[in-house]
Amino acid sequence: MISIIIKEIKHNFRDKRAITLMIAFPLLLMVILGVVFNGQFASNGIDFSGAKVIYSAKEDGNLHKGFKEFAHELEEMNIIFEQIENEDDAIKKIQDDLYTCYISLDENSKELNIYKNNKRNTTASFIEGMLATFVQRYNLVSQIIEVNPNSIDEIMNKDIKNDYVKIVSIDEKKQARAIDYYGITMLTLIIMYSVNAGIFSIQGEQTIKTGDRIIGTPINKYKVFLGKVLGAFAVTAIQISIVILFSTKILGVNWGNDIVTILIIIITQIIMCISIGVGIGFLVSSQEVGNGVISAIIPLLVFLGGGYYPLERIGSDLLFKISIISPIRWINDSIFNVIYLNDYKYVSSTVVFNIVISFVFLLLANMKYRRREEI
């Protein structure tokens, strides 16, 4: 089986043009898009018009003063800050979705709590991210509380103070620049094209008859199958590592603090794409058909995933809702959330989703494989 894996790797790396394309293409796009959209990603260019935040501060002091300065910075981005006295009132307002989030400060216990609606909200996430810096600067303990409109009591009764979560902050300088954005989205884009590697590993063998020859040998056909899938995975993994290495070392793309989690997301994405490719490889009659199908679908999925331009900025609600069907949407979101917001809530669902899709396609491929005539 090892020899099949090695052979698959050789096939791919001997095709110098394809391999260069798979590596150079995303890097080039990162640079180009990074430069072209540079202005739009600078933090003072972001417009959160209409976003309203309420906050309360127990006792006046340095913390409150600092927070005001912080709020002032954000007000330049059209986020409105309002102070409020009554905490219960504030939470109610969040539940009713009147404000983006509620921040409570406690000078004495050096605590900062963020209450937010459990609706998906980028502005809230952004503020969280900004606050993280603030929290670190003032050495605060902080936590994010999601408010569920249907379970008010639960929230109220919760002993919040015993449940501190420390937010690890990100460096202020490392806000997402264009290059950071495209460094990630172009990577997840190019991984999508590893579907091709999956298709090739199945179809390539059929067109040149070597598949028949392999059947004539005593090797178990499931080992061949597994060897091919692993081979395609290895090839893609090597390519992607090179892209990652270049993009971080040369282009300086920010990968955040938790590289392991991001790698896990990326690895499951590769597995998913290879499996889809293998599945397609068995379903279609020729490599050309397969490549045609995916070169039509991938750009669409990437677009919906915000791969070319952040969808939030286009500002179409409908588009945003449709975009949920794109696996790239999930993958990109979970990666950005980990890097910039320390937010892991999408990670597990994305990983599970990737694995489930992989299984579905591998199972499909396996069914087709078993039905073939040969013994």
Partner 1 sequence: MQIVKIQGLTKKFGDLIAVDNVSLEIEQGEIYSLLGPNGAGKSTIINIISGLLKMNKGEVEILGKNIIKHSNYVKKNMGIVPQDIAIYEDLTAYENVKFFTTLYGIKGEELKRKTTEALEFVGLNDKSDKFPKSFSGGMKRRLNIACAIAHRPKLIIMDEPTVGIDPQSRNHILESVRKLNKLGCTIIYTTHYMEEVEAISTKIGIIDHGKLIAEGNKEELKAIVTDRQAIYITVNDSEKVNINELKKINGVVDVTVDGNVVEIDNKKEINNWDKIITYFYSNSIPVKNIESKVPNLETVFLTLTGRKLRD
Minimum gap (Å) between residue 293 Cβ and partner 1: 25
Burial of 157 (0-12, 13-18, 19+ CB in 10 A): exposed
Minimum gap (Å) between residue 11 Cβ and partner 1: 6
- Contact set for partner 1, span 207-226 (CB under 8 A): 208-210, 212-219
Positive or negative, the CA dihedral 145, 149, 151, 154 is positive
Residues touching partner 1, count (CB under 8 A): 20
Closer to partner 1 by CB, 11 or 68: give it: 11
Closer to partner 1 by CB, 36 or 208: give it: 208
Closer to partner 1 by CB, 109 or 207: give it: 207
Task: Tell me how far apart the alpha carbons of residues 196 and 65 are, in angstroms, rounded to a whole number.
Answer: 56
Minimum gap (Å) between residue 222 Cβ and partner 1: 14
Minimum gap (Å) between residue 22 Cβ and partner 1: 16
- Asked if residues 333 and 246 have their Cβ atoms less than 8 Å apart, the reply is no
Binding mask 2-21 for partner 1 (x = CB under 8 A): -x---x--xx--xx------
Minimum gap (Å) between residue 25 Cβ and partner 1: 21
Q: Using alpha carbons only, what angle is made at residue 191 by residues 181 and 185, rounded to the nearest 5 degrees? A: 10
Among the listed residues 75, 73, 66, the one whose alpha carbon sits nearest the alpha carbon of residue 140 = 66
Closer to partner 1 by CB, 39 or 216: give it: 216
Task: Tell me how far apart the alpha carbons of residues 305 and 307 are, in angstroms, rounded to a whole number.
Answer: 5
Residue 79, CB-side half-sphere exposure with 13 Å CA sphere: 27
Among the listed residues 209, 43, 45, the one whose alpha carbon sits nearest the alpha carbon of residue 129 = 43
Minimum gap (Å) between residue 303 Cβ and partner 1: 34
Closer to partner 1 by CB, 26 or 231: give it: 231
Binding of residue 316 to partner 1 (CB under 8 A): no
Determine the straight-line distance between the first and last CA of the chain, rounded to whole angstroms: 19
SS3 55: strand
- Asked if residues 190 and 26 have their Cβ atoms less than 8 Å apart, the reply is yes
Residues 6 or more apart whose Cβ sits within 8 Å of residue 287: 199, 200, 203, 204, 207, 281
Q: Which span sits near partner 1 by CB under 8 A: 120-128, 204-212, 267-275, 333-341?
A: 204-212
Look at strands 52-58 and 111-117 and give their pairing: unpaired
Closer to partner 1 by CB, 12 or 342: give it: 12
Minimum gap (Å) between residue 238 Cβ and partner 1: 17
Closer to partner 1 by CB, 10 or 161: give it: 10
Q: Which residues bind partner 1 (CB under 8 A)?
A: 3, 7, 10-11, 14-15, 208-210, 212-219, 373-375
